[in-house]
Structure 1
């Protein structure tokens, strides 16, 4: 989580909002800058350019960063639901990410992007916290089917967090991508979360065709979107209702997709 401040017309300052060792934060910011440069090299749309890392000082105890500012409107699940051109643009962005070499690096995260069963403990937390706000028995049953989907693809480079807030739009086109400091190797299906966050069934079909996904990859993308959405609803219910509503709309798209649900493996 960062506090973001506009600096003039062309720059933005990002200040980490957490308690941490300044040396570790500085290392994280340098790693993020390196990842941003890697994504810049392949992205077909503008992405932030890392400019500088600031040092701790009076009034702020941690290192911070300066990046370029990108114009555009943040994508929304309602605004892009039927935008087929946006879906094709997004497929192009994900394909470009995958074209970057991993240089032998494996997935190094601890959450989304590795093996689905590794999220079991987190999902149990989500189900417990959601008992009064979601149909947990139905959702728990769906996770039981999603978590056993096999991994058939090697790691590829992924953005890692293609939620609507990280995608910029204008006149139905994708014109920018934000928060690129997590560009790294992961399950290629991870970036497919965007389809479930942003598109209705017909537009998801356009996106899927443009990217050329296999059935198992498509299902795993739904699984990662489900994992993310379950956390959004309860965690942000009071502090960020917009994010909570994103989780709800994504869960609805997944549970109401008859083709997806009917092709998932049966679990006893």
Structure 2
């Protein structure tokens, strides 16, 4: 998926575990299929998962999660990852890695939600809880800055998609929605705590209800519009309105959130269309949902 991506296999994971966590050396190691783009996941026995960065950027996220997840967990209404072991570079693998407690559940899929309205309320509750956190020293969230900071990359992605007619993207309509987001007033309040990557692959549900939120590699403080992604990457129209009402989102923030979500999808689609079917499929869903709404 990425230049410089690290090759990881079960044998490497077993050697890392045996060398650094001998108490778990006898447990089975099995690759866990995932649409994630930054980390490889391996089940370790029945109750744990090993998460290893595939690229340098993911390695930088490890230390941030080690610092902040234990501090955030008491403030949140759903389970989040709990590190049980902090692995270090070894066996030719160059970056830190982690062993987490296994969280049960499955990733929700847009268009196949059993309880979309209830899930919308659950998601809003998580976002409200994140925004309410007052822990000092928050890093700047990935994507948390001004919408205009995404302009060049978003426009480049639109032009790239013009050259892929088989995707059927209405690039003029996408440009119009994006430019509306650029015109919207920016966030003039204090930065708020954000997960900043609320993709379906970072959510776990059981019985249609949110049970866990994972992968906090983009966390930090910034524009609250950054955590509106589920409105378009997951929720149908009726549940989208429930989500918005529960959060009390003003028009400008909603427009910025829609633009940010569209931007992420426009950039992801040409990048992942041949390498990550899960990401590409959700990007297409987002683009359709946003353009239908806009």
TM-score range with shorter-chain normalisation?
0.7 to 0.9
Q: 1:51 is paired with a residue of what secondary structure?
A: strand
Equivalent residue for 1:138, pick from 144, 166, 173: 173
Q: 1:38 is paired with a residue of what secondary structure?
A: helix
- Asked whether the equivalents of residues 2 and 14 of structure 1 are also in contact (C-alpha less than 8 Å), the reply is yes
TM-score where L is the length of structure 2: 0.80
1:119-198 correspondence to structure 2 within 5 Å: 119-131=150-162, 132=164, 133=167, 134-152=169-187, 153-198=189-234
Cα deviation per residue 1:95-138 (whole Å; 9 max; x = unaligned)? Answer: 01111115264x635x5221001111111221122112322222
Q: 2:229 is paired with a residue of what secondary structure?
A: helix
Cα deviation per residue 1:40-85 (whole Å; 9 max; x = unaligned)? Answer: 1211011111222212222423221111210001111122386111
1:38 pairs with 2:75: no
Query: Residue 7 of structure 1 corresponds to which residue in structure 2?
Result: 44
CA RMSD of superposed structures (Å): 2.0
- Asked whether the equivalents of residues 81 and 200 of structure 1 are also in contact (C-alpha less than 8 Å), the reply is no
Gapped regions of structure 2 (runs ≥ 5): 1-37
Gapped regions of structure 1 (runs ≥ 5): 262-268
Higher deviation after alignment, 127-136 or 218-227: 127-136
- For the residues of structure 2 that align with 1:141 and 1:81, how far apart are their CA atoms? 33
Query: Residue 145 of structure 2 corresponds to which residue in structure 1?
Result: 114
- For the residues of structure 1 that align with 2:218 and 2:101, how far apart are their CA atoms? 17
Q: CA deviation at 1:215?
A: 1.6
1:16 pairs with 2:48: no
- Asked whether the equivalents of residues 159 and 183 of structure 1 are also in contact (C-alpha less than 8 Å), the reply is yes
- For the residues of structure 2 that align with 1:67 and 1:255, how far apart are their CA atoms? 38
Q: CA deviation at 1:141?
A: 2.4
- For the residues of structure 2 that align with 1:9 and 1:96, how far apart are their CA atoms? 30
1:87 pairs with 2:120: yes
TM-score where L is the length of structure 1: 0.87
Q: 1:112 is paired with a residue of what secondary structure?
A: coil
